[in-house]
Amino acid sequence: MNFFVIGVSHHQASVAVREKLAVAGIVDRLYGLWERGEDLSESLLLSTCNRLEFFAVSDRPELIRQVILDELTAVSGCPRVNLSPYLHEYADLEAARHLFRVAASLDSLVLGEPQILGQVKAAFREALKRCRVGMLISKLMHCSFRAAKRVRSETSLAGGPVSVAGAVTRLVLTLKDGDLSKTEVLILGAGPTAVLVLDNLKKKNPAALTILNRTRVKAEVIAQKYKINSRDWVELKSALAGADLVIAATGASELVLTEADLRETMGRRSLRPLIIVDIGVPRNVAHEVKYIENILLRNIDDLKEVVWESSLGRQEAAVRAEVIIEEEVTKFGKWLVQLAKQPILVALTRKAEGIRRLELQKTFSQHNFSSHQREVVEIMTGALVRRLLHDPLLFIKNSSPAEAGCVESGQACLNSIRRAFKL
């Protein structure tokens, strides 16, 4: 049994690439591989604004890998040769290490941000609901939760305000010279990230703060909680005309603000500049908007420089966190090899017991033993088999290739034992 992960993230792929895979139906499509009869034992899909990763368990990993690549190619509309450079792939312990780092926010755009662990847990719940989780992925996920918990409790990696919302706030303050007192802010969207951005920006005392969402009731609830303004979605154009800063953070699968929309808006604003920060994936704002005069457009990829500066103080904690990750990978590696050993332990025990039963049957058929004598012989032969198996079974259990995390060497050792005992 092999497991691996294949996907894209903010490290290799820009938002222009990631949004091609952030399309409606991709979750059903990838989970549907099992229903189509593909040789897939377990699977889990992790989808966030910064990554799309598919974890798979299969006896035919190369075949499943090609099937997944076909699906990603079809969904994105990109030829495989164009998509492949942006993909990352890890197998076995490297896949486990990658997941542990993701859950512990060591692989996040914002080092130490807490939201990713909740997203990993949500992905696990979805896979469980779809009955795609078996023993291996279940163990893998729970080990990732433990690794993340240790990193948060044993290091200061998450110390201080760390989140995409915090990075957006830092970016905005940089663009506005640290002063929002004369800035009218418009928030588009009412999801968790939009609310976090709203909360951060409100603390900076902007001149006005307004929220718009396609579902007006949801926007009104948030507006009442934060004591800000809310407007109906049909008022979007007039709201844009009065804003100085727009944060686009909707979960829409299509553009919310087109080039035509913004050209019309800017025509009503004279020379008043407009800053737009688009943190949606797929993007909420058309790329061409950046060419419109007096508009400054930034997207989620533009947060990297701000994030890099704010993460410098957490580098020492990150080093300690990496040590914790390695400790947890080693533990998982030991469990993985023990799991691989289990079939051979069972097979060897069954073979010895089968031989014992066959010889007892021959002996009892050739000699007239009393019931008591049969019982004594049963006990004696059973004890003899257990004594003979003790050292071989102990050797298999304690064989140490996995101590160094080498699953391949451990498998070679088990194959040798199978050949030796003709299992």
Q: 419 pLDDT band (50/70/90 cuts)?
A: confident
**Cis peptide bond upstream of 273, omega within 30:** no
Rounded average pLDDT over 8-17: 94
Q: Of 115-124, 334-343, 368-377, 394-403, give the lowest mean pLDDT range.
A: 394-403
Residue 407 pLDDT exceeds 60:
no
Residue 406 pLDDT exceeds 70:
no
Residue 382 pLDDT exceeds 50:
yes
90 CB contacts (<8 Å, ≥6 apart)? 4, 5, 97, 98
Q: 161 pLDDT band (50/70/90 cuts)?
A: low
Q: 129 pLDDT band (50/70/90 cuts)?
A: very high
406 noted as active-site residue:
no
| pLDDT, position 38 | 73
Q: Which residue has the higher pLDDT, 273 or 416?
A: 273
Residue 88 pLDDT exceeds 60:
yes
| pLDDT, position 400 | 56
pLDDT in tens, 316-331: 889 999 999 999 999 9
Q: 404 pLDDT band (50/70/90 cuts)?
A: very low
Residue 58 pLDDT exceeds 70:
yes
Q: Are 200 and 165 in contact (CB under 8 A)?
A: yes
| pLDDT, position 391 | 86
Q: 47 pLDDT band (50/70/90 cuts)?
A: very high
| pLDDT, position 21 | 92
DSSP class of 54:
E
| pLDDT, position 395 | 81
C-alpha–C-alpha distance, residues 358 and 361, integer Å: 5
Residue 9 pLDDT exceeds 90:
yes
Amino acid residing at 101 = R
Q: Are 94 and 294 in contact (CB under 8 A)?
A: no
Mean pLDDT of the chain: 90
**Nearest CA-CA partner of 190 in 237, 158, 226, 148:** 226
Q: 398 pLDDT band (50/70/90 cuts)?
A: confident
DSSP class of 257:
B
Residue 146 has a CB neighbour count (10 Å cut-off) of 16
- Residues of the chain with pLDDT > 90, as a percent, come to 66
**Nearest CA-CA partner of 47 in 113, 127, 112:** 127
Q: Which residue has the higher pLDDT, 238 or 163?
A: 238
Catalytic residue among 49, 78, 131, 143: 49
Residue 137 pLDDT exceeds 90:
yes
Where do the domains of the chain lie, and which CATH numbers do they carry? 2-161 (3.30.460.30), 164-304 (3.40.50.720), 345-421 (no CATH)
Q: 172 pLDDT band (50/70/90 cuts)?
A: very high
Cα-flanking dihedrals φ and ψ of residue 162, to 5°?
A: -130, 115
Residue 99 pLDDT exceeds 90:
yes
The contacts found for 57-62 with CB under 8 angstroms, 24 or more apart, are 57/1, 57/2, 57/3, 57/134, 57/136, 57/137, 58/1, 58/2, 58/3, 59/1, 59/2, 61/2, 61/3, 61/4, 61/91
Amino acid residing at 376 = V
